[in-house]
Amino acid sequence: MLSTATASTRLGGPEEPLAWTLPTDPAAEVAPRQATGVRATTYKGDAHLSMFASARTVGKIAGSDDPRMVKLTAEVDALEAEVRPTDQDHKDRDSFLTALQTTVSKLVDGEIRVHAFGSAINGFWTPHSDVDVCIQVPGHQTRAEQIVLLRKLATALARVTTHFVEPRFSARIPIIHWSPKVPGSMLATDISVNNTLAVVNSRLIGAYMEIDPRLRPLGIAVKYWCKARGINDRSRGTLSSFSLILMMIHFLQRRPAPVLPSLQDLALQHNMPPLYVQGVDCRFATDPKMVSDELDYLCKEHGGRNTESVGYLLHEFFRYYGYMYKFGTIAIRDVAAANSSASTSQSRATSPSAGVYLFVDNPFEVGKDVANVLPNQHTRLRQELRRAQQMLAKGVSFFDMCQQSTLEAAKAAGKAPVPRGTMLAITVVTALGGLSIAAGNAALLYLHPSWHTIIQSTSPIWALVTQFLSARLTDGITALDITPRMGMAVACLAFGCIVCASDHLTNSHMATKASLLGMVLSILAVWTRAVRGNIQFLLLRSKQSDVHTLLYRAAVVTAPMLLVSSSLVEGAHPWRELPSTATFVAVSAVIAVSFNLLSLHVTREFGTVNKEVTSHSVKPIAMLASNMLFGQAFMGVQYYGVALTLVGAAMFAFGSHHGAGKSRVA
């Protein structure tokens, strides 16, 4: 049951309470909406449900006693026990927070408090989770002041040689990401300044977790599923962990016999005094008897408290959001209570959530969507929810249901932010590949065994570059007057520096951008002569040639620009939105194979004519384009960039096929 200490963190001892007296807007200090003396209705948001959902679900589940649900309950309980932190984990976390408090206190004068939030205090923390930290500092209310303090802290933390420091000042809330160089070896953290509302949100979730022990395994299970399926990344427009937990609480509040009450509504009903944080009323009930009485009242029409098993509730969670929920606000409080009675109906009609799929309302800042699911992800998320329900209803194990195919795992790996150590590893592998493909393969296998099969199966881009430089250009790289191997080494060093520098600016598609930058820099010098010659041809001799020859010459000039732009342009519709994995594999494979065959045909057909341009440009560019296309699609790059690559390669192949034998380079 809920204890009076649920609103405070448990970090090895009682934590000092938050200083709730931060400066607030006087206009916000208005009297709260008075309780009417009537209990809150079951209304939680304005989520619209389908009346015919049961007809579309797969498999009929009798209830918690169904053998499939008994098995599912055991699997979820085992998962929760496996990730449950030990006493030593808690001690390590507390020591880390204490050390951070000491470090920050040396940087700023005045009273400093360091508060953990997120999973570290809401009951869902695991040993492998990051620790979100809020530094509470008097003043420092503006974004500029917070960034100044974070810069000082980043400088101090950079002295710790075991960790990377990554400033993310362009985020909605400026943070420092501090992570170990060896993933999983030590704690990682995101540090923000005066992000007090996030701390209060976390304590509210912790209060819910204390009410019913089923919430923790359910939350752990949906987070595990979401991460395993590659839909747990808010920066990519999918679900954040916070929104997932709010969705679970909302669902448990809407069971026929509710598992959880609304702690905020309960505080209003009992006229608890308002508690303002940054101008927002953050009161919620923490009295165990008050909560118990409310649950008894809500469940009396159903013969007592909810006794559904964890497995059955998890199955119903997927059914609820996959089939029953259509659109509208998902809230864990009576949203109408935050508005005046006169404006309630109007606010619902003009609500920003009207017709929006998965609009997860902020518990305290009403009307603010904490999910922010991109429209192009709606179909995928609904499909994932329905897939989960269908597989569980068929008796598939929870872990098999969460498992990704090899292709899905590779796409997810390509989208994840890549640490700087991985960037260095890619540079080393590419450099070794410039000397010897076998050496590059060996280095790749040693540094990243899990990547070896994936990259090898996609005909690696860097291997194609290596073959081009080492085998095709035995006479050296023209304009730079250096050997191919030296050119490869210089290009690798340059690309490594660029990637490391860009690591401070963005963390999106870093793996793909790194490989493309390496390829572009490696073959830039090789293209210099061919491009220069064809520009001269276009300017001086265009009147003497037919359309096909002009197209061929223009393609040689424009192909590099198209290939470079394909690595920089990100469209709005990723490859993963294709109807199925099978379609994705088929399309990518057909395109890759077709262009490789075409390049071989062109080289064989015209190899003796215009030998310089054909051997140095036609086959390498066509093969690089095809493998870029397949590699980009495999790593999950937006298809607009891939389309540019396809257009450039098609222009080049078509033009060279019709014009290569008709004229020579000037």
- Spatial contact of 628 and 563, defined as CB atoms under 8 Å apart: yes
Rounded CA separation 274/584 (Å): 54
Based on the domain organization, do 226 and 267 belong to the same domain?
yes
Does residue 152 lie within any of the structural domains? no
| Structural domain containing residue 245 | 36-81+204-400
Q: Give pLDDT, residue 451.
A: 43
Q: How far apart are CA 217 and CA 227, in angstroms?
A: 15
The confidence band for 290, taking pLDDT boundaries of 50, 70 and 90, is very high
* Largest distance between two CA atoms of the chain: 94
The average pLDDT across 173-195 equals: 84
Write out pLDDT tens, residues 432-445: 443 344 444 555 55
Is residue 130 scored above 80 in pLDDT? Answer: yes
Is residue 594 assigned to a domain? yes
Q: At 191, is the secondary structure helix, strand, or coil? A: strand
User: Which of residues 340 and 109 earns the better pLDDT score?
Assistant: 109
Question: What is the mean predicted confidence (pLDDT) over 315-344?
Answer: 76
Q: What is the pLDDT, as a whole number, of residue 57?
A: 56
Q: Which one is predicted more confidently, 185 or 128?
A: 128
Task: Label residues 81-118 b or e (16+ Cβ within 10 Å = b).
Answer: eeeeeeeebbebbbebbeebeebbeeebeeebbbbbbb
Whether the CB-CB separation of 521 and 491 falls below 8 Å is answered with: yes
Q: Which of 364, 379, 400 is the last residue of a domain?
A: 400
Q: What is the pLDDT of residue 423?
A: 41
The pLDDT score that the predictor gives to residue 335 is 64
The answer on 390 and 428 residing in a single domain is no
Model confidence at 388, pLDDT cuts 50, 70, 90, reads: very high
CA distance 194 to 140: 8
Quick one: pLDDT at residue 463? 42
Q: What are phi and psi of 113, to 5 degrees?
A: -125, 140
Q: Report whether 368 contacts 384 (CB < 8 A).
A: no
pLDDT in tens, 407-433: 455 444 443 333 444 444 444 444 444
Q: What is the pLDDT of residue 103?
A: 84
380 and 440 part of one domain:
no
Coil, strand, or helix at residue 592?
Answer: helix
- Are both 424 and 471 inside the same structural domain? yes
Residue 15 has pLDDT above 60, yes or no: no
Nearby residues of 592 by Cβ (< 8 Å), 6 or more positions away: 459, 626, 627, 629, 630
- In this structure, are residues 270 and 294 in contact, taking their beta carbons and an 8 Å threshold? no
Pick from 73-87, 486-500, 567-581: least confident: 567-581
pLDDT category of residue 47 using cuts at 50, 70 and 90:
low
Q: Tell me: the pLDDT tens digits for 574-586?
A: 333 444 444 544 5
Smallest CA-to-CA distance from 463 within 490, 430, 495, 491 is with 430
Check whether 277 has a pLDDT greater than 50.
Answer: yes
CA distance 261 to 590: 55
Which of residues 219 and 474 earns the better pLDDT score? 219
Positive or negative: CA dihedral 304, 306, 312, 318: positive
Q: Is 29 exposed, middle or buried (0-12, 13-18, 19+ CB in 10 A)?
A: exposed
Judgement on whether residues 367 and 479 belong to the same structural domain of the protein:
no
Give tens-digit pLDDT for 608-642: 333 333 333 444 444 444 444 444 443 443 443 44
Distance CA 395, CA 7 (A): 39
pLDDT for res 328: 84
Q: What average pLDDT is seen over the chain?
A: 65
Provide the pairing of β-strand 359-360 with 329-330: parallel
With helix as H, strand as E and coil as C, how does 416-445 read?
A: CCCCHHHHHHHHHHHHHHHHCHHHHHHHHH
What confidence score (pLDDT) does residue 445 get? 53
> If DSSP codes are grouped into helix, strand and coil, which group holds residue 7?
coil
Q: Give the three-state DSSP class for 147.
A: helix
Q: What is the chain's percent helix, strand, coil content, to nearest 5?
A: 60, 5, 35
What pLDDT shows up at residue 48?
60
For 221-252, write each residue's pLDDT tens digit.
999 999 888 888 877 778 889 999 999 999 99
| 237 neighbors 377 (Cβ within 8 angstroms) | yes
Number of domains in the chain: 2
Task: Indicate whether 255 and 218 sit together in one domain.
Answer: yes
Domain match, 313 and 455 both:
no
Looking at residue 250, what is its pLDDT?
95
The answer to whether 185 and 226 have CB atoms below 8 angstroms apart is: no
228: CATH: 1.10.1410.10
Relative to beta strand 189-193, strand 131-136 is: parallel
Residue 31 lies in a domain: no
Q: Which of 351, 369, 400 finishes a domain?
A: 400
Residue 175 forms beta bridges with which residues?
168
Q: Is residue 198 over pLDDT 80?
A: yes
Position 4 confidence tier, pLDDT thresholds 50, 70, 90: very low
Within a domain: residue 191? Answer: no
What pLDDT sits at residue 99? 86
**Percent of the chain at pLDDT exceeding 70:** 48
Instruction: Please give the pLDDT value at position 443.
Output: 52
Q: Are residues 542 and 500 in the same domain?
A: yes
C-alpha to C-alpha distance for 281 and 338, rounded to whole angstroms = 9
Residues 217 and 317 in one domain: yes
In-domain check, residue 570? yes
Provide the 3-class DSSP secondary structure of residue 293: helix
Domain assignment of residue 640, yes or no: yes
Least confident among 73-77, 257-261, 579-583, 632-636: 632-636
- The verdict on 420 and 387 lying in the same domain is no
Do residue 442 and residue 303 come from a single domain? no
For 266, the token pair is 């309960």
Amino acid of residue 324: M
Of 400, 435, 451, at which residue does a domain stop? 400
Do residues 319 and 53 touch, judged by C-beta distance below 8 A? yes
* pLDDT value of position 166: 84
Shared-domain flag, residues 305 and 416: no
298 within 8 A of 368, measured Cβ to Cβ: no
Q: Tell me how many degrees the CA angle 418-450-183 measures, rounded to the nearest 5.
A: 45
Better-scored residue on pLDDT, 445 or 531? 445
pLDDT of residue 44: 55
Residue 142 scores a pLDDT above 70: yes
CA angle 199–202–205, rounded 5-degree value: 155
Q: Which amino acid is at 547?
A: V
Structure-token pair, residue 525: 């010098």
Residue type for position 326: K
pLDDT > 80? residue 487: no
427 lies in some domain: yes
Query: Does the pLDDT at position 317 exceed 90?
Result: yes
Domain assignment of residue 69, yes or no: yes
Q: Tokens in use for 585?
A: 């594999």
